Amino acid sequence: MRTVISGGMVITAEGSRMADVLIDGELIVGVGATSEFSNMTVDRVIDASGKWLIPGGIDVHTHMELPFGGTFAKDTFFTGTRAAAFGGTTTVVDFAVQSRGKSLREGLDAWHSKAEGHAAIDYGFHMIMSDVNDDTLKEMDTLVAEGIPDFKLFTAYPGVFFSDDGAIFRAMQQSGKNGGMIMMHAENGLAIDVIAADTVAAGVTDPIGHGLARYSGLEGEATHRVIRLAEAAKVPVYIVHLSAKEALKSVRAAREERLPVYAETCPQYLFLSIKDLGDGFNGSKFVCSPPLRSEDHQPELWGGLVRDDLQIVATDHCPFDFHGQKELGRDDFRKIPNGLPGVEDRIDLLHDGGVVTGKITKERWVEICSTAPAKLFGMYPKKGAIAVGSDADIVMYDPAAKHVISAATHHMDVDYSCYEGRQVQGASEIVLSRGNIIVEGGAFLGREGAGKFLRRDRAEYARREL
Ligand code: URP
Ligand code: ZN
Ligand code: ZN
């Protein structure tokens, strides 16, 4: 099957130009001047006049079916990846979970079973490590060889995912040797739990207590600590879901020292604030960790994206219904499952709130949503590029289309939207995954199970000279 996408503006992290794109089967085989391929025999021509062609979005932080707080994140690999596709994302990297007392292998096998035959777009896995011991350290090497080169550890959630500094350091040393990368959830969970208990004892049980207890300075403290642990262990470290200016300051300082330190933020920290947590129990819709911050953190985060202190915007998509799931914490904010939906909205929110407002260029938008994730997470140039030899994961984007985000129209399997009623400019009109049109004109044309597992490369890019 040969396809030409003609008359569009190809936007990549490096620059933009009017160009036609030739696809053969699953791959891009030509990127040429407009009409360069007009004499070729092709099976399909897609007219992209007036539209942008961008590499498919890559969301490196999702939690399909994550067990949390006595329930499970609602989207399955099918519903979650289908929603991602509607929003212009053609690759996700989800977090497989090692349950306490079980092996990494058992956790990984469980995630393969959840995804295989169900994901509608290509997917990879990171591994959440709950126990660090001689056996799991050995397993890390095996996983790296199997294309799972990154491991997430937590200084938060005592009793659940929390690891102490010694355990984190051991995992870091192992990854320093095996070519992998460490991802850190950096909040001081031990101190936060004390403050949260004090908050409840003082009579604050509503969701706002979640935001009040999780001080931004305690994210800053943990971020600084794990960066210095990683420096000592000689391993690249990636700070997930960075929300606070104090944490950003530590990342920036480390990068100025040319340490291999990287970080992502998420749309919720750029567009939402602690005020959203303050609307009685309705605020539970916005409970995630780290929590939403006061608005003065937002310009700092945007500045971080502009200056490349932050390299990536990922969603931390972790949806729980308001009814029946968030309600588990009606009497105590500590029992509200942590996480927000967002995999479908990222590209449009960043276009509307970043490109349209002039905060970032359209090329930087492509970089933080697709190219940088591909490079840092061992998928480039197969993914994250519109170039000869790359997978034909392409989004035909209408930068002028306007639409209103709503739970009534979104495709995520969750009963609310954090952005209900918000009008955004920009929409994915046609989405191709490895040459196949999977979304067109608001309809899903893909297939459950069409997504393939991505064996990703070691974190060589993260080890390059900064
Ligand atoms: O609130 C969040 N972020 N839930 C998902 C789990 C995690 O910490 O990433
Ligand atoms: Zn986390
Ligand atoms: Zn997460």
Cα of 240 from ligand 2 centre, angstroms? 7
Rounded-to-integer distance, Cα 231 and Cα 247, Å = 16
Beta-carbon contacts of residue 265 (< 8 Å; ≥ 6 apart): 241, 242, 243, 301, 304, 305, 310, 313
Question: In DSSP terms, which residues pair with 356 in a beta bridge?
Answer: none
Neighbours of 440 (CB within 10 A): 15
Q: What is the pLDDT of residue 38?
A: 87
Q: Which protein residue has the closest C-alpha to ligand 1 atom 2?
A: 339
Measured CA to CA in angstroms, residue 464 lies from 178, 235, 337, 460 at distances of 15, 12, 38, 7
Tell whether ligand 1 has an atom less than 6 A from the beta carbon of residue 289: yes
Q: What is the pLDDT of residue 465?
A: 82
Rounded-to-integer distance, Cα 190 and Cα 188, Å = 6
Cα of 250 from ligand 2 centre, angstroms? 18
Our CA angle for 59, 237, 244, nearest 5°, is: 70
315-373 pLDDT per residue, tens = 999 999 999 999 999 999 999 999 999 999 999 999 999 999 999 999 999 999 999 99
Q: What is the pLDDT of residue 83?
A: 99
Our CA angle for 460, 252, 343, nearest 5°, is: 65
Tell whether ligand 1 has an atom less than 6 A from the beta carbon of residue 316: yes
Judge contact between 176 and 233, C-beta under 8 A.
yes
Judge contact between 66 and 318, C-beta under 8 A.
yes
Ligand nearest to the CA of 268: 1
24-79 pLDDT per residue, tens = 999 999 999 988 898 899 999 999 999 999 999 999 999 999 999 999 999 999 99
Instruction: List the domains of the chain with CATH numbers.
Output: 56-381 (3.20.20.140)
Stretches in the chain below the pLDDT threshold 70: none
Judged by DSSP in three states, 32 sits in strand
Neighbours of 285 (CB within 10 A): 24
Cα of 241 from ligand 2 centre, angstroms? 7
pTM of the model: 0.98
Tell whether ligand 1 has an atom less than 6 A from the beta carbon of residue 338: yes
Beta-carbon contacts of residue 73 (< 8 Å; ≥ 6 apart): 63, 64, 65, 66, 318, 319, 320, 337, 339
